[in-house]
Amino acid sequence: SQKIEQNSEALNIQEGKTATLTCNYTNYSPAYLQWYRQDPGRGPVFLLLIRENEKEKRKERLKVTFDTTLKQSLFHITASQPADSATYLCALLGNTPLVFGKGTRLSVIA
């Protein structure tokens, strides 16, 4: 069955450093991969989308890579700030509706 794994439940980093979150998947061939941010008590908010034929996508301090050979996406936040603290979800879209990973809770410590 399809499986999505986000590398860890929680990640703590120092302000100013680059946060790197990992999303791995098996038994799936997604056409698109998306990343969302979720703050406590709120619904997820879309951040970035990357297509299967794209290697990298950037938006301000965010960067996403997509390696269909390794079946992995990396999500980077450069110059992280305490306001970046949230849970980040990866989601895959292919022949089935969007499938979400369980998320990684990022804490940026000042």
CB 17, min distance to another protein, A: 26
- Tell me the number of residues near another protein by CB under 8 A: 20
SS3 state at 70: coil
82 within 8 A of 15, measured Cβ to Cβ: yes
Contact status: 10 vs another protein (CB under 8 A): no
Per CB under 8 A, 75 contacts another protein: no
Cβ proximity to another protein: between 89 and 108 the closer is 89
Q: Under DSSP, is residue 9 helix (H, G, I), strand (E, B) or coil? A: coil
Q: Please give the structure tokens belonging to residue 64.
A: 């996403």
Residues 6+ apart with CB under 8 A from 82: 15, 108, 109, 110
Nearer to another protein, 18 or 71 (CB): 71
Give residues in contact with another protein (CB under 8 A).
31-32, 34, 41-46, 49, 51, 89, 93, 97-103
